[in-house]
């Protein structure tokens, strides 16, 4: 077949129209195109977000709002699976768009307690403070959690930083979104912005975690409402690995003059909030208290644990706080009980901070004893892959396995020298306590926390000792120092127990 020049030119033109023109047209009209070829200017994206949210309308004023949040207590509920109870938080907040400072006053109600006196926190893009006795006290960066629930804070921080970069486009909640990214002390943060309207939809990050290694955290903003000339999300959520941990609903919003707002300034230092765990999780130095010839309490400001040796076996009651604490426990045990021994860890309660050291002991070959209902949860703790900062178990993944013994009734071990007992009150199901026969000592797990007044937890422990015929002389628990048992009996009398019980 012959082609003359005119025909060849026509075919080349048609080929260009079919292949090249749609891409060019898409870039001009905003239609479908390869996301990698369309780059958004981060400053423009953030400026548009500020425009549609109403930063200009707020001007030199302060945004004042009221909100209610349900903060799910998955880490300390009565089961390791849903439903979890929530701490209900009533909030009043003030945000200064010019300085980026937010002040939040929070009253919290827990089951059987509260509302608490208002706790006042301050944050800007780099720091968090708590107001106590009219003094500002620096808080760790974990306290920034509440700040990220408010996208006004997020947009102000990102716009002020000047270091955002375009990271592409992703589909999120059924539509394509612009994705911006920043590298911070907390790793890479990603901000999802709607290309149609300019509103921010989500802040996304990987967060290190003391039990799970790392979790995918998302702050979602939805149900936007117009109030006083500004747009605010009526609902904000914090999700961890896809599951809702905080659900916040914003009610009244108003724009007020600066002089009508309370204090909205921060101290000059520190320049950054420390990347530190809350005090109760910090593996601080241990205090050792002797209970009997071979029984000791290992305590720091966060948690107390108990350890005993009989023959060539050592039993450690609970593994709290994490690997750092477990290493300190191991050092203390080596000083108290030199030589080789078989080690067993008894997990008496399943709150996340109470089991955060289990992975270390599994990596070292220890046997784990717990209520039989705990097996699935503890297996999930051991199976979790730590990818951001591999711990000892992750480094020994090929050889470390959970050696588990399940208990659901009175259980004697070490030749009867130690016995384990389910507490089995309505508030203490799936929890164990330990009795050291020769020491007449009761390890009460987490279930005696105070002896200042009667509590249902204390009653359940006392009833369990009566049910199983135990006669302790002293007791201690994760948050209770060594205490004479008659003190517990006195509390029971105040609670209505009969003298002969």
pLDDT digits (tens, 9 = 90+) for 250-288: 999 999 999 999 999 999 888 888 877 888 999 999 999
pLDDT digits (tens, 9 = 90+) for 177-225: 999 999 998 889 999 999 999 999 999 999 999 999 999 999 999 999 9
Over residues 344-371, the mean pLDDT reads 98
pLDDT at 496: 72
What's the mean pLDDT when you consider all of the chain? Answer: 91
Over residues 388-414, the mean pLDDT reads 95
pLDDT digits (tens, 9 = 90+) for 223-258: 999 988 899 999 999 999 999 999 999 999 999 999
pLDDT digits (tens, 9 = 90+) for 142-174: 888 899 999 999 999 999 999 999 999 999 999
By the 8 A CB rule, do 96 and 62 touch?
Answer: yes
Q: How confident is the model at residue 497 (pLDDT cuts 50, 70, 90)?
A: low
pLDDT at 307: 98
pLDDT at 378: 98
Going through 268-358 in order, the beta strands assigned E by DSSP cover 287-292, 295-299, 304-310, 313-317, 342-346
Domain residue ranges of the chain, discontinuous segments joined by +: 46-162+220-257, 279-494
Over residues 404-421, the mean pLDDT reads 94
Over residues 392-403, the mean pLDDT reads 96
Q: How confident is the model at residue 2 (pLDDT cuts 50, 70, 90)?
A: very low
Q: Say what angle helices 456-467 and 485-494 make with each other, to 10 degrees.
A: 110
Which of 56, 99, 132 has the alpha carbon at shortest distance from 261? 99
Q: Could you tell me the pTM of the whole model?
A: 0.88
Exposure letters 155-174 (e unless 16+ CB within 10 A, then b) = bbbbbeeeebeebebeebee
Lowest mean pLDDT among 4-8, 308-312, 404-408, 473-477: 4-8
Q: Give percent of the chain above pLDDT 90.
A: 82
pLDDT at 29: 34
pLDDT at 498: 54
Q: Which helix (H) or strand (E) holds 202?
A: strand 200-209
What is the rounded distance in angstroms from the CA atom of residue 421 to the CA atom of residue 467?
10
CATH top-level class for 46-162+220-257?
mainly beta
pLDDT at 133: 86
Architecture, CATH, for domain 279-494: 4-Layer Sandwich (3.60)
Strands 342-346 and 313-317, bridge-based pairing = parallel
pLDDT digits (tens, 9 = 90+) for 6-60: 333 333 333 333 333 333 333 333 344 444 447 899 999 999 999 999 999 999 9
What is the rounded distance in angstroms from the CA atom of residue 401 to the CA atom of residue 365?
8
The helix/strand/coil state of 487 is helix
The helix/strand/coil state of 72 is strand
Check residues 497 and 391 and name the one with the higher pLDDT: 391
């Amino acid at each position: 077949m012959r082609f003359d020049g005119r025909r060849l030119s026509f075919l080349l033109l048609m080929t260009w129209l079919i292949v090249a023109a749609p891409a060019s047209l898409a870039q001009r009209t905003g239609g479908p195109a390869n996301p990698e070829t369309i780059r958004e200017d981060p400053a423009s994206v953030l400026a548009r977000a500020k425009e549609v949210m109403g930063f200009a309308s707020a001007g030199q004023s302060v945004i004042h709002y009221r909100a209610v949040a349900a903060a799910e207590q998955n880490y300390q509920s009565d089961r390791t699976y849903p439903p979890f109870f929530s701490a209900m938080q009533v909030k009043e907040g003030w945000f200064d768009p010019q300085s980026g400072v937010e002040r939040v006053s929070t009253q919290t109600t827990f089951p059987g307690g509260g509302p608490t006196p208002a706790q006042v926190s301050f944050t800007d893009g780099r720091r968090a403070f708590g107001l106590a006795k009219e003094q500002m006290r620096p808080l760790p960066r974990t306290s920034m959690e509440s700040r990220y629930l408010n996208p006004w804070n997020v947009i102000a921080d990102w716009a002020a930083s000047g270091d955002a970069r375009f990271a592409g486009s992703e589909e999120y909640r059924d539509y394509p979104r612009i994705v911006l990214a920043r590298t911070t002390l907390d790793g890479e943060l990603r901000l999802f912005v709607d290309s149609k309207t300019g509103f921010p939809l989500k802040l996304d990050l990987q967060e290190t975690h003391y039990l799970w290694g790392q979790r995918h955290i998302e702050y979602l903003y939805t149900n936007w409402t117009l109030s006083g000339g500004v747009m605010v999300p009526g609902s904000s959520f914090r999700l961890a690995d896809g599951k809702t941990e905080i659900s916040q609903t914003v009610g009244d919003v108003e724009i007020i003059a600066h002089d009508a707002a309370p204090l909205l300034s921060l101290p000059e230092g520190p320049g950054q909030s420390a990347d530190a765990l809350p005090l109760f999780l910090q593996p601080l130095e241990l205090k050792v208290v002797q209970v009997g010839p071979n029984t000791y309490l290992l305590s720091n400001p966060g948690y107390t644990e108990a350890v005993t040796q009989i023959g060539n076996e050592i039993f450690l009651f609970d593994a709290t706080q994490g690997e750092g604490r477990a290493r300190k426990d191991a050092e203390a045990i080596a000083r108290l009980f030199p030589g080789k021994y078989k080690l067993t860890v008894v997990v008496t309660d399943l709150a996340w901070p109470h089991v955060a050291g289990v992975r270390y002991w599994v990596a070292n070959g220890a046997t784990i004893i717990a209520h039989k209902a705990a097996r699935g949860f503890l297996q999930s703790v051991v199976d979790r892959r730590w990818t951001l900062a591999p711990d000892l178990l992750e480094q020994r993944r090929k050889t470390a396995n959970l050696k588990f013994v399940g208990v659901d009734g009175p259980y004697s071990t070490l030749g009867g020298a130690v016995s384990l007992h389910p507490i089995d009150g309505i508030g203490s199901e799936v929890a164990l306590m330990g009795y050291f026969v020769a020491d007449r000592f009761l390890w009460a797990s987490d279930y005696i926390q105070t002896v200042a007044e009667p509590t249902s937890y204390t009653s359940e422990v006392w009833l369990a000792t009566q049910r199983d015929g135990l006669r302790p002389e002293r007791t201690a628990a994760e948050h209770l120092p060594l205490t004479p048992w008659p003190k517990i009996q006195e509390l029971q009398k105040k609670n209505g127990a009969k003298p002969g019980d």
